[in-house]
Amino acid sequence: MEERRLFATEQVGGRAVYRFHAVTVFVGICLVLYYRATHVPAGSGAGRAAWLGMLAAELWLAFYWVITQAVRWSPVRRRTFKDRLAARYGERLPCVDIFVCTADPKSEPPSLVIATVLSVMAYNYPAEKLSVYLSDDGGSILTFYALWEASAFAQHWLPFCKRYNIQPRSPAAYFSDSEKPHDLHILKEWSFIKGLYEAMTERIDSAAMSGEVPEQIRVKHKGFSEWNTGITSKDHQPIVQILINGKDSNAVDSEANVLPTLVYMAREKRPQYHHNFKAGAMNALIRVSSVISNSPIIMNVDCDMYSNNSDSIIDALCFFLDEEKGQKIGFVQYPQNYNNMTKNNIYGNSLNVINQVELSGLDSVGGPLYIGTGCFHRREILCGRRFAEGYKEDWDRRIKGKTQQSIDQIEETAKSLATCAYEQNTQWGNEIGVKYGCPVEDVITGLAIHCRGWESVYMNPPRAAFLGVGPTTLAQTILQHKRWSEGNFSIFLSKYCPFFFGHGKISLRHQMGYLTYGLWAPNSLPTLYYVTIPSLGLLKGTLLFPEITSRWIIPFIYISLVKNVYSLYEALLSGDTLRGWWNGQRMWMVKRITSYLYGVIDTIRKLLGLSMMGFVVTSKVSDEDESKRYEQEIMEFGTSSPEHVIISTIALLNLVCMVGGLSQTMTGVGHMPLNVFFIQVILCGLLVIINIPVYEAMFLRKDRGSIPLSVTLAATGFVTFALMVPII
Ligand SMILES: *[C@@H]1O[C@H](CO)[C@@H](O)[C@H](O)[C@H]1NC(C)=O
Ligand SMILES: CC(=O)N[C@H]1CO[C@H](CO)[C@@H](O)[C@@H]1O
């Protein structure tokens, strides 16, 4: 029987050790909480309040720790048997629709978008079964023009990729990484294709620079006439253009092989209709594709994430087509990987631990979240089907009986499905398609699929399936994590809260897995407490931990040691360096006291119906200096934004407390011997050490990425204030 399976699921090793360790940490946590609860200082002073605050913070952190165990208890890894799939299905492989979404030609340059499109057109998969759709929410003629150029370039690029089996198949990534081939014959072809590619990107980029497409090009395709009426990105008619029609016998590459279908779509936009962002675009794509190819499998990817692995479709199909377990699988999610991370991950953005540990763990309790990109869905399930025993997919489905329609007729039908009014009084955005009304609509869409009885699968092949561009500055990182934490927290507080919405439909551990992310944001408050109050206590002589001579100190030390050693182990195993881990610890704190804090505040303001406007986080202004500092792994501040003030204040506060506290204990002024304040000294000391890059940016660096004087002054003001008020 085993030889029949198309995929294997393997337990990740070392679980006995892990569980033993987790049990001991749990006992330690209970002891700490017991100590806190039974040693509350008498009286009604500030010391008592501070102590109770510590108790509250530790209760929360303990609760969150228990939640995170759900994804660490029994992680699994998946492996596929691609040759068995090929042998068994051969000609009968199902059709696949690929959706690429772009929103704005300024921040997502058309040449980047088409590199992604070309990479997914070149998958190792029968071209007649592949259809690629680009949704352009910018409604830009520049993006349409780029796609039209790409449709011509594909005639040379696709046969070249397949003949030499090159990787990766994004021409931008391929030509920037690969060395010249040595074989003279190949070299000739390589240079020819490279020349074509460079000429094309030059034309696209110069059109993008000037903001218009030259007249002599506009006459070459009927699609350009859509822009004749001076439409804008926020107000235009629906546009659907089939640039390559895979069913047409003329649509062939330079070697007379069939090409994949290629479609451009810009759904209708009118100022009086809300467009629901990417979720709206996805739903329009589902409908438009249903009259063009209607494939049973839909893959979607963001326009900046090119395919780095041409076997991803085959890998995903190994799950869906498995006779024994495939029926229950709703979607196959690949991780989000970035190709421009520095070695030591200065902003902790590689997501290694999430990708290697947490998502694998979720895979064992019902499946990973849908993260909105790099995901294969079944069309029927995305459109709302519930799981039922004995359900069988019709893999041969596609457009039936409509082959007589001309391309113009098909385009007209498709346009009528991409209008603003189409969704009114329908279940689209609710029961059907991607859900609306939440900043992380992907996650609730995935949750709803899980709650309808389906499982999902996490596939993390050794060669990354998709590579995108990650944040490269502190401000971008903080912004990204604010969006994520805020989105997931607002799900937690909404009717989609996994505990209630998922109750009775998905397992408790699966609910906890969702909450690992849903509760990111509230972690900010206890963390903020922990990085300020014990340090202030050190300075002011308020004892908040057991003395070194007390036996109660053992669980405190045990937990902090073991948790850190384990997180180091997890990071190293996931591919981080030692320094990368250390940087990650710093960013762990920074994200919690900025992004997550903003996430909490903004979510609550929205709940209370206060202004919809959020904190403004500095936007991206990339220049050469900045990229250089990023490559040298120097932290980038540069602007006077509130998040920089928070970071500087915390860093400065700990420095002052450390210096003040130590000098008192050394000189014995406040009769506070070091051993009494042992834990507070260590905690404050570690915070000072981890903040060294912040002090450098404040006092030593002179470059434009250092912390501006105004921020330092504001931080000094806040620290002085904190020292003067008798909060502790
Ligand atoms: C992307 O693919 C290339 C080969 O084409 C491979 O060398 C590289 O390791 C892949 N990147 C990642 C992050 O897996
Ligand atoms: C280190 C690295 O590769 N950085 C690159 C990340 O991506 C941006 C945008 O594509 C490039 O400008 C950086 O050079």
pLDDT digit string, tens, across residues 215-251: 999 999 999 999 998 899 999 999 999 999 987 777 8
567 & 693 share domain:
yes
254 & 388 share domain:
yes
Among residues 97, 136, 137, 576, the one annotated as catalytic is 137
Task: Kindly state whether residue 239 falls inside one of the protein's structural domains.
Answer: yes
**Residue range(s) defining the domain that contains residue 245:** 92-336+371-470
Distance CA 338, CA 359 (A): 16
Directed axis angle between helix 277-290 and helix 407-417, to 10°? 140
429 & 289 share domain:
yes
Helix or strand (DSSP H, E) at 131:
strand 130-136
- The residue nearest atom 11 of ligand 2, judged by CA position, is 340
- The residue nearest atom 1 of ligand 2, judged by CA position, is 340
Domain end position, chosen among 470, 490, 508: 470
What's the pLDDT score for residue 620? 43
Which residues participate in the annotated binding site for UDP-alpha-D-glucose?
A: 108, 137
Task: Kindly state whether residue 24 falls inside one of the protein's structural domains.
Answer: yes
Ligand 2 centroid to Cα of residue 361, in Å, is 31
Closest CA to 316 of 387, 381, 246, 374: 374
Is residue 340 within 6 Å of ligand 2 at its C-beta?
yes
- The residue nearest atom 6 of ligand 1, judged by CA position, is 463
Backbone angles phi, psi at 252, to 5 degrees: -130, 160
Residues recorded for the chain:
728
CB contact at 8 A, 704 and 625? yes
Here the tokens at position 434 are: 């991607």
Largest CA distance in the chain: 94
Distance CA 665, CA 658 (A): 10
Helix or strand (DSSP H, E) at 51:
helix 46-69
Q: For the chain, what is the domain count?
A: 2
What's the pLDDT score for residue 624? 83
Closest CA to 446 of 317, 457, 657, 70: 457
Identify whether 368 is preceded by a cis peptide bond (ω within 30 of 0): no
Ligand 1 centroid to Cα of residue 472, in Å, is 20
Q: What share of the chain is helix, strand, coil (3-state, %, to 5)?
A: 55, 10, 35
Ligand 2 centroid to Cα of residue 478, in Å, is 18
67 & 98 share domain:
no
Other Cβ atoms closer than 10 A to 367: 26
Which residues participate in the annotated binding site?
A: 108, 137, 278, 302
299 & 430 share domain:
yes
Ligand 2 centroid to Cα of residue 216, in Å, is 35
422 & 558 share domain:
no
- The residue nearest atom 7 of ligand 1, judged by CA position, is 463
Task: Kindly state whether residue 377 falls inside one of the protein's structural domains.
Answer: yes
Alpha-helical (H) ranges within 503-552 are 508-518, 524-530, 533-540
Mean pLDDT by 10 residues, the chain (728 residues): 86 93 97 97 86 97 96 95 92 94 92 97 95 97 97 96 93 88 89 96 96 93 93 95 86 88 97 93 97 95 96 97 93 95 90 93 96 96 91 73 76 96 95 90 95 97 94 91 93 93 95 96 97 94 92 96 95 94 96 96 86 49 80 91 96 96 74 80 96 96 93 96 84
Is residue 168 within 6 Å of ligand 1 at its C-beta?
yes
Is residue 312 within 6 Å of ligand 1 at its C-beta?
no
Task: Kindly state whether residue 347 falls inside one of the protein's structural domains.
Answer: no
Distance CA 101, CA 113 (A): 9
Distance CA 657, CA 678 (A): 14
Helix/strand/coil for 298: strand
CB contact at 8 A, 36 and 58? yes
Nearest 5 degrees, angle CA 388-CA 390-CA 394?
Answer: 95
Task: Kindly state whether residue 677 falls inside one of the protein's structural domains.
Answer: yes
177 & 261 share domain:
yes
CB contact at 8 A, 62 and 29? yes
Q: Which residues contact 299 (CB under 8 A, 6 or more apart)?
A: 96, 97, 98, 99, 120, 313, 316, 375, 376, 377
Pocket test for ligand 2, best of 340, 341, 624, 626 (most atoms within 8 A of CB): 340
593 & 557 share domain:
yes
Distance CA 60, CA 68 (A): 12
Task: Kindly state whether residue 629 falls inside one of the protein's structural domains.
Answer: yes
DSSP string, 152-180: HHHHHHHHHHHHHT-S---HHHHHHHPPP
Distance CA 725, CA 728 (A): 8
Helix or strand (DSSP H, E) at 376:
strand 375-378
Nearest ligand, measured from the Cα of 167: 1
Which numbered atom of ligand 1 lies nearest the CA of 463? 14
Which numbered atom of ligand 1 lies nearest the CA of 467? 13
Pocket test for ligand 2, best of 111, 472, 473, 477 (most atoms within 8 A of CB): 472
Directed axis angle between helix 595-607 and helix 642-667, to 10°? 120
162 & 284 share domain:
yes
Ligand 1 centroid to Cα of residue 193, in Å, is 21
Ligand 1 centroid to Cα of residue 464, in Å, is 6
Active site residue 253: no
Task: Kindly state whether residue 190 falls inside one of the protein's structural domains.
Answer: yes
594 & 671 share domain:
yes
Ligand 1 centroid to Cα of residue 167, in Å, is 8
427 & 323 share domain:
yes
Which numbered atom of ligand 2 lies nearest the CA of 622? 12
Nearest ligand, measured from the Cα of 464: 1
214 & 263 share domain:
yes
At 263, which CATH number? 3.90.550.10
Active site residue 137: yes
Nearest ligand, measured from the Cα of 109: 2
Task: Kindly state whether residue 483 falls inside one of the protein's structural domains.
Answer: no
pTM of the model: 0.93
Which numbered atom of ligand 2 lies nearest the CA of 341? 1
Distances in whole angstroms, Cα of residue 615 to Cα of each of 443, 598, 618: 23, 7, 10
Which numbered atom of ligand 2 lies nearest the CA of 472? 6
- The residue nearest atom 12 of ligand 1, judged by CA position, is 464
Among residues 136, 311, 315, 442, the one annotated as catalytic is 442
Is residue 631 within 6 Å of ligand 2 at its C-beta?
yes
